[in-house]
């Protein structure tokens, strides 16, 4: 019951918090807690699954489908997270297929991209994130239901954070890539959020950057400071 009690306290904190009314808040819950999260969270707060598979049904023991996510009342799914790519070995192509199937199933998608430390040090950040974005874009049927999340792998759970200037540089280049390869409308409207050791201490400076539209928050989302991060652009 300890884990359930922790989630109840976390949800109560969110439900009673004064949240900036121009900020869309989505909580990514483990799959077994999706129904619990959706039932307990205030309806102003969205719920996302942390992953899904790329087909509707079949012999895929342990996987979760968009239909299952929707049955729990969740509206979003996070796809391509760095751990899915680099721990579980998901390819760009598989992530693209997941994006396509999730959108076809009427889920909104937070699609993650980002480079590893050795790729940044080798000066290939742009090449890596453009290639990842290309495969995602080839599978997007409705950009209005997609949020891009730039999360440099070297800054996830490490305590290291991309400087505001580093985050802005990549976000700006991603928006330029969308302008050149998708459309002006998509480049102007798509939200590009930053993930990577975001805390109450750095969120406001990051949020002040022109092309940083929000955050994909990890460990800090389990702490009271999450409310301050949500309201960083207020």
CA separation for the pair 222, 109 (Å, rounded): 22
At residue 174, the pLDDT reads: 98
At residue 148, the pLDDT reads: 98
User: Domain extents for the chain?
Assistant: 42-230
Work out the average pLDDT over 189-198: 95
Does 231 score more than 90 pLDDT? yes
Of the candidates 115, 119, 151, 171, the residue annotated as catalytic is: 151
Q: With beta carbons less than 8 A apart as the criterion, state whether 92 and 127 touch.
A: no
Does 138 score more than 60 pLDDT? yes
Nearest to 172 by CA among 153, 202, 141, 148: 148
At residue 229, the pLDDT reads: 97
Report the mean per-residue pLDDT for the chain.
95
Work out the average pLDDT over 104-121: 96
Work out the average pLDDT over 99-115: 98
Q: With beta carbons less than 8 A apart as the criterion, state whether 213 and 191 touch.
A: yes
Work out the average pLDDT over 220-234: 92
Q: How confident is the model at residue 2 (pLDDT cuts 50, 70, 90)?
A: low
Q: Read out DSSP for the chain?
A: -HHHHHHHHHHHHHHHS---TTS-EEEEE-GGGHHHHHHHS-TTEEEEES---SSSSSS-TT---HHHHHHTT--EEEES-HHHHHTS---HHHHHHHHHHHHHTT-EEEEEE---HHHHHTT-HHHHHHHHHHHHHHT-S-GGGEEEEE--GGGSSSS----HHHHHHHHHHHHHHHHHHT-HHHHHH-EEEEESS--TTTHHHHHTSTT---EE-SGGGGSTTHHHHHTTT-
Q: How confident is the model at residue 187 (pLDDT cuts 50, 70, 90)?
A: very high
Does 101 score more than 80 pLDDT? yes
Does 38 score more than 70 pLDDT? yes
At residue 1, the pLDDT reads: 54
Assigned architecture for domain 42-230:
Alpha-Beta Barrel (3.20)
pLDDT tens for each residue of 46-98? 999 999 999 999 999 999 999 999 999 999 999 999 999 999 999 999 999 99
At residue 156, the pLDDT reads: 80
**Is-catalytic flag, 20?**
no
**Is-catalytic flag, 75?**
no
Work out the average pLDDT over 180-185: 98
Of the candidates 81, 90, 101, 115, the residue annotated as catalytic is: 81
Does 167 score more than 60 pLDDT? yes
At residue 162, the pLDDT reads: 86
User: How much of the chain exceeds pLDDT 70, in percent?
Assistant: 99
């Amino acid at each position: 019951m300890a884990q359930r009690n922790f989630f109840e306290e976390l949800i109560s904190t969110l439900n009673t918090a004064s949240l900036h009314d121009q900020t869309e808040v989505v909580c990514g819950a483990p799959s077994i807690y999706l129904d619990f999260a959706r039932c307990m969270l205030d309806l102003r707060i969205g719920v996302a699954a942390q992953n899904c598979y790329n087909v509707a049904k079949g012999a895929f023991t342990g996987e979760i489908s968009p239909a299952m996510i929707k049955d729990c009342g969740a509206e979003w799914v996070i796809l391509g997270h760095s751990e899915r790519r680099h721990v579980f070995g998901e390819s760009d192509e598989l992530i693209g297929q997941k994006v396509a199937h999730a959108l076809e199933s009427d889920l909104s998608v937070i699609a993650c991209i980002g480079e590893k430390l050795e790729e940044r040090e080798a000066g290939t950040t742009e090449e890596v994130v453009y290639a990842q974005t290309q495969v995602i874009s080839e599978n997007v049927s409705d950009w209005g239901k997609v949020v891009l999340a730039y999360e440099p792998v070297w800054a996830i759970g490490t305590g290291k954070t991309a400087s505001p200037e580093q985050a802005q540089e990549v976000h700006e280049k991603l928006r330029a890539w969308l302008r050149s390869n998708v459309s002006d409308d998509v480049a102007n409207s798509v939200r590009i959020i930053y993930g990577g050791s975001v805390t109450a201490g750095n969120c406001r400076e990051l949020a002040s950057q022109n092309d940083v539209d929000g955050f994909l928050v990890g460990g800090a989302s389990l702490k009271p400071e999450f409310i301050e991060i949500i309201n960083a652009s207020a």
